[in-house]
Chain A
Amino acid sequence: MKFSIDWLKEFVPVPLKVLELSHRLTMQGLEVEHIEGEGEKAVFTLGITPNRGDCLSLLGLAREVSALQGKPLVLKPKIPPKGQTPIKNFLKVSIPDRKGCPRYMARVVQGVRIGPSPDWMQKRLASVGLKAINNVVDCTNYVMWELGQPLHAFDYRFLKEGRIVVRPEPRPFKFVTLDGVERACLPSDLFICDGEGPVALAGIMGGANSEVRDDTETVVLEAAYFDPKRIHATSKRLQLTSESSRRFERGVDPNNTANALHRLTALIVETAGGTPSQDWTDIYPKKSVPRKMMLSPGEVKRILGVSLSPKEIKKTLSLLGLNGSIPTFRPDISRAIDLVEEVARLHGYDKIPETLPKIGMNLPIQPREAFAKEITAETLTGLGYTECCHLSFTSPKKTVPFTRSLTPRENHEESGSSWVTLSNPLSEEHTILRPVLISSLLDALAFNQHRQRKDIRFFELKKIFCEGKEPLHLGMAATGEEWPQQWGLKPKKIDLFSIKGALSQLARALRLDGLGFEQESFDFLVPTASCSVLFQGEKIGWMGLIDSAVLKSWEIEGDVFAAEIDWEPLSLGSESVALRYKPLSKYPFIERDIALVVDNSLTVQKTEQSIWAMDNGWIKKVQLFDLFKGENLPRDKKSLAFNIRYASFERTLTNEEVNEAHQRLITHLEREIGAILRK
């Protein structure tokens, strides 16, 4: 809402300097967003909150400006200009939809001469951002700005049968508003109709079929009060907002209608000539009256924490005309708490002393997964992974490569059916909510690669959206070198075991026994380097090398290793762990290395299992420390070297005992897994 100081001064004295007025208005809840010009000519732009429709007029603002100077605003009612012919000779008004239109006033002015409005009016309208059209239309806008009452002028020639009927159309209907746009209207919309059909979309915009033209001679002036909810619903559905609808939907004063009509009639006669009708139509069967409302000083003290005397409260409220009863120009005030706010607002929020609540002792609780979340993030950053925060939106195009092989086979036909789709997306890129994290992580890798960054490791721990649930997923993606290039350290490429190691370390940090990894292929992973991730026997996600075809569509170069798991089982598992201390051994340990040549197809896991199977309680640790193929080994063989630690909790083991046990282990491995001891 814009206004200029000189225009405001026609309603209320303004002795304050521009900056002082701006500050006082802001502190009274009418935020000054912008000031243009200086002194009398200064134009303020206010951010009026949606509850204060009354402040969308100079009259309403004058009330506030007067109150902030400690005086209530006093206004003289407008005197209706005199006229000639009785209105009934022109017009017959009926309101079948009483709920939609509680008050309708109309008056006719004959013999107007349409032309540009006077300079002073055009300047004022321009200063507040309104376009000048012609003297009659400009007068309606001018008075609306002054008094907050939206007004409309029809060309009398086009009102068939000289009738005005306020009613809905029974069937869906296309109506051309005066901006030339055809609007698809519904039976819930309210119209001003003539003897045949709609001539205006009530309270929102006039029709092209009845607007004032250059040759208009007789005008019908409308001042009405429409149901705010009806206006809002129609305006929102049609996405058609006008200065008129903005005011109606926020609630105008049904008892200011006559004032506005009289002011408009007088102004039109002044600027466009003509003769008003002798009287006017006013259909207002159920008059709105000010409602009684009391505010006790105790309530003020209870809510604000400051003691104000009954006298102070009374005086404060009467500054806005709110003492004892609520005038109809303040529809936002419906209960005592609204009056408390008015008291606080005028008293000044800054005058309410700051206090700290006296509360009983209590133990704040946190979401159950908060602790595990923090451990996860800290562990992964410690391992070189940087935390990401991506938007929850994505597109089917970016999602399909991953969900195709993740949705159960029977749902393949409609793999998108479990996605959460937006009905009003901002762009094609953002039409669904992420059902996986990996696509955003690839976006992030691509973004950085395209900015010359080669070594990148990201993780994201965020909600995904699928089938009505919002589970937390952990996504990881890495590419490039394991560590920065430096002296004294050989370069090493990131590989599958970088991610696997990080996941295992994470499990350890969460006090979990570990994760399982089982060979499994997925559409989007290289089949020879891909697996599912298991926790306590349940599949929770996947890990592997992203297929180059997928990377190509992201324009990513090099190998990308990634994983995505359902994180919540880890969090739950971690919560249920009761950490118990294990006693320390008093006795030294003895270590033996063993190098085995085994079949290529035998997994390390199987080999280790076989070693543990031989344990008589002495083996405390089995550590693979070397793996190689080739050289003088047969093509189908590999060499595995383990370090095995023997110890007992009861006594010191002798070398001889350990040698004997180790020999038994070798024999066992030779027999069970066909291992050959490598000398």
Chain B
Amino acid sequence: MNKEELLAKIESLRTEANGALAALDSLVSLQEFKVRFLGKKGLLTDILKSLSLLGPEERPIVGEAANRAKTEIESRLESLRKNLDQKERSRLQSQKQVDVSLPGLKLPRGFRHPLSLVEKEIESIFVNMGFSVFEGPDIESDYYNFEALNFPADHPAREMQDTFYIGPRTMDQGQRTQEKVHGPWSMVHGPLLLRTHTSPVQIRTMEKQKPPIYMICPGAVYRHDDDVTHSPMFHQVEGLMVDRHLTFGDLKGVLTLFCQTIFGKKLKTRFRPSFFPFVEPGAEVDISCVLCAGKGCRVCGGDGWLEILGAGMVHPAVLEQVKIDPKKFTGFAFGMGVERIAMLKYGIDDIRLFYQSDMRFLEQF
């Protein structure tokens, strides 16, 4: 074949290709076209193979024409491919059309109890300040619940905390039962009862550990009481710091920091004298009302303050009881009701809601 024939052939190939391109309507036919015209055994390759038959001066001319045709076909092919690709994607996408307003998959989920959430929050604040967490038994002896805590025997201070006692009423029968149920230690430490506060854990800790002691003790406590604001069982977090150089000013500082962490930085605290046998000076801690910010409302009884904590410097008699020298060490203790804090935090008005397991209540937390 000579130069002219080849050029004509290229031209006719080009025309044919353009015609065929126009008819392509799928990625499959596009692939077939590519093989037929541009493949290793394709028509254009055939032409390029014939180049060797030409003379050296003719070869570049024909070669260039062939390449031009190839480039043209390739570029048209590519744009067609893009076009078809796009069409194909649109088709697939239209199949996947959804109504995004349909509800998402609902897997069942449970809820943590609000008291757990609040107790966790209280604990983490104190743990972050360096307090350890200790626990103790709900069934306690008179010694740990009262006597070691400087509650004088036969004094009305004991009636501040109405107590549940364990076992039958009569002494003889009672002792036998207690021996059987609670082992010999009960005989040493007086009648058994349900702890009225978690302070016994403080005594148990101080018996085992020398200062410095920085601890909190969360847990269930029991009082012989039942109405809208009192439950016969509720939860407390009590705390204790014993070290050299701790003062009433430190008590104020630590408890204010706690209150502001759990209820907000703007909150104010108020410390006023009160009485708990195991502390002296004793204090009641009020916070500015979380609902009315101290202006006065139904919840705070109009004076803008809410009672939230009991506290005080550990009574020297308590330290002496656990053989810590009150001349060398001072300390402070505090206690709060978890329910009380949860009620203020979440605006809950009936303490019984915590123990009824009403899902309408629990699923709000």
Binding site for B on A (CB under 8 A): 26-29, 31, 49-52, 228-230, 232-233, 236, 246, 249-250, 302-306, 335, 337-338, 340-341, 344-345, 349-350, 352-362, 364-367, 370, 377-378, 380-393, 417-418, 420-426, 430, 433, 443-444, 447-448, 451, 453, 455-459, 463, 465, 467-468, 470, 482-484, 486-489
Q: Is B130 an interface residue (CB 8 A)?
A: yes
User: Is there contact, CB below 8 Å, between A430 and B113?
Assistant: no
How many residues of chain B get a CB closer than 8 Å to chain A's CBs?
90
Chain B residues with CB under 8 Å of A418's CB are: 181
User: Is there contact, CB below 8 Å, between B105 and A448?
Assistant: no
Known: A421-B167, A447-B356. A387 touches B106 (CB 8 A): no
Distance between Cα atoms of A152 and B153 in the complex (Å): 27
Known: A352-B252, A470-B137. A484 touches B357 (CB 8 A): no
Distance between Cα atoms of A417 and B180 in the complex (Å): 9
**CB-nearest residue of chain B to A299:** B327
User: Is there contact, CB below 8 Å, between B110 and A349?
Assistant: no
User: Is there contact, CB below 8 Å, between B357 and A388?
Assistant: yes
User: Is there contact, CB below 8 Å, between A52 and B275?
Assistant: yes
Known: A338-B280, A362-B212. A232 touches B358 (CB 8 A): no
A356-B254, A465-B138 given. 17 additional CB < 8 A pairs?
A31-B284, A50-B155, A50-B156, A359-B243, A364-B132, A365-B132, A367-B133, A388-B113, A392-B220, A393-B232, A421-B168, A426-B226, A433-B194, A447-B358, A453-B360, A487-B102, A489-B105
CB distance from A488 to the nearest CB of B (A): 7
Chain A residues with CB under 8 Å of B196's CB are: none
Chain A residues with CB under 8 Å of B346's CB are: none
Chain B residues with CB under 8 Å of A341's CB are: 273, 280-282
Known: A249-B156, A389-B355. A483 touches B111 (CB 8 A): no
Q: Is B359 an interface residue (CB 8 A)?
A: yes
Q: Is B55 an interface residue (CB 8 A)?
A: no
User: Is there contact, CB below 8 Å, between A453 and B359?
Assistant: yes
Q: Which of B116, B134, B174, B247 has the most CB of A within 10 A?
A: B247
User: Is there contact, CB below 8 Å, between A26 and B106?
Assistant: no
Q: Which of the residues A249, A453, A484 comes within 8 Å of B108, measured between beta carbons?
A: A484
| Chain B positions 99 through 136: 1 when the CB is less than 8 Å from some CB of chain A, otherwise 0 | 00011011111111101100000000001001111110
Among the stretches B7-15, B21-29, B39-47, B157-165, the one at the interface with A is: B157-165
Known: A362-B212, A423-B165, A468-B181. A381 touches B110 (CB 8 A): yes
Chain A residues with CB under 8 Å of B105's CB are: 486, 488-489
Known: A350-B271, A367-B134, A370-B133. A382 touches B110 (CB 8 A): yes
Q: Which of the residues A306, A337, A420, A459 comes within 8 Å of B249, measured between beta carbons?
A: A306
User: Is there contact, CB below 8 Å, between A390 and B103?
Assistant: no
Distance between Cα atoms of A495 and B278 in the complex (Å): 53
User: Is there contact, CB below 8 Å, between B281 and A423?
Assistant: no
Binding site for A on B (CB under 8 A): 102-103, 105-113, 115-116, 127, 130-135, 137-139, 153-157, 159-160, 164-169, 174, 177, 180-183, 194, 212, 214, 220, 222, 224, 226, 231-233, 241, 243, 245-250, 252-254, 256-257, 270-275, 277, 280-284, 313, 315-316, 330, 354-360, 362-363
Residue pairs across A and B with Cβ atoms less than 8 A apart, 28 shown, are: A28-B272, A29-B273, A232-B154, A303-B281, A304-B281, A341-B273, A345-B281, A353-B252, A354-B256, A359-B243, A362-B212, A364-B127, A366-B133, A367-B135, A378-B112, A382-B110, A384-B107, A389-B116, A389-B354, A393-B233, A421-B167, A422-B194, A423-B167, A443-B357, A447-B358, A451-B360, A468-B181, A468-B183
User: Is there contact, CB below 8 Å, between B281 and A51?
Assistant: no
User: Is there contact, CB below 8 Å, between B111 and A29?
Assistant: no
CB distance from A21 to the nearest CB of B (A): 14
Chain A residues with CB under 8 Å of B103's CB are: 486-487
**CB-nearest residue of chain A to B157:** A50
CB distance from B241 to the nearest CB of A (A): 7
User: Is there contact, CB below 8 Å, between A426 and B232?
Assistant: yes
Known: A304-B249, A393-B232, A484-B106. A377 touches B137 (CB 8 A): no
Distance between Cα atoms of A352 and B247 in the complex (Å): 10
User: Is there contact, CB below 8 Å, between A364 and B166?
Assistant: no
**CB-nearest residue of chain A to B166:** A420
Known: A31-B272, A453-B359. A362 touches B110 (CB 8 A): no
Distance between Cα atoms of A165 and B245 in the complex (Å): 55
Q: Which of A366, A383, A387, A393 has the most CB of B within 10 A?
A: A387
User: Is there contact, CB below 8 Å, between A29 and B272?
Assistant: yes
User: Is there contact, CB below 8 Å, between B130 and A305?
Assistant: no
Tell me the interface secondary structure of chain B in the complex: mixed
Q: Which of the residues A26, A31, A230, A384 comes within 8 Å of B110, measured between beta carbons?
A: A384
User: Is there contact, CB below 8 Å, between A483 and B154?
Assistant: no
CB distance from A23 to the nearest CB of B (A): 9
Q: How many A-B residue pairs have CB under 8 A?
A: 260
Chain A residues with CB under 8 Å of B243's CB are: 357, 359
Chain B residues with CB under 8 Å of A384's CB are: 107-110
Distance between Cα atoms of A470 and B137 in the complex (Å): 7
Chain B residues with CB under 8 Å of A304's CB are: 247-249, 281
4 closest A-B pairs by beta carbon, nearest first, are A305-B247, A29-B273, A384-B108, A305-B249
User: Is there contact, CB below 8 Å, between B106 and A486?
Assistant: yes
User: Is there contact, CB below 8 Å, between B358 and A448?
Assistant: yes
User: Is there contact, CB below 8 Å, between B272 and A349?
Assistant: yes
Distance between Cα atoms of A662 and B230 in the complex (Å): 68
Distance between Cα atoms of A104 and B113 in the complex (Å): 60
Chain B residues with CB under 8 Å of A350's CB are: 270-271
Chain A residues with CB under 8 Å of B138's CB are: 392, 433, 463, 465, 470
Distance between Cα atoms of A367 and B270 in the complex (Å): 32
User: Is there contact, CB below 8 Å, between A29 and B155?
Assistant: no
Chain B residues with CB under 8 Å of A385's CB are: 110
Q: Which of the residues A246, A422, A484 comes within 8 Å of B165, measured between beta carbons?
A: A422
Distance between Cα atoms of A424 and B315 in the complex (Å): 31
Distance between Cα atoms of A27 and B109 in the complex (Å): 48
Chain B residues with CB under 8 Å of A354's CB are: 249, 252-253, 256
Known: A345-B273, A354-B253. A482 touches B108 (CB 8 A): yes
Chain A residues with CB under 8 Å of B282's CB are: 341
Known: A386-B362, A448-B358. A420 touches B110 (CB 8 A): no
Chain A residues with CB under 8 Å of B271's CB are: 349-350, 352
Chain B residues with CB under 8 Å of A489's CB are: 105
Known: A352-B252, A386-B110, A451-B358. A359 touches B181 (CB 8 A): no
CB distance from B221 to the nearest CB of A (A): 10
CB distance from B304 to the nearest CB of A (A): 11
Chain B residues with CB under 8 Å of A455's CB are: 108
**CB-nearest residue of chain A to B137:** A470
Q: Which of the residues A229, A345, A383, A447 comes within 8 Å of B153, measured between beta carbons?
A: A229
User: Is there contact, CB below 8 Å, between A483 and B108?
Assistant: yes
Chain A residues with CB under 8 Å of B360's CB are: 451, 453
Chain A residues with CB under 8 Å of B165's CB are: 422-424
Chain B residues with CB under 8 Å of A51's CB are: 157, 275, 277
CB distance from A303 to the nearest CB of B (A): 6
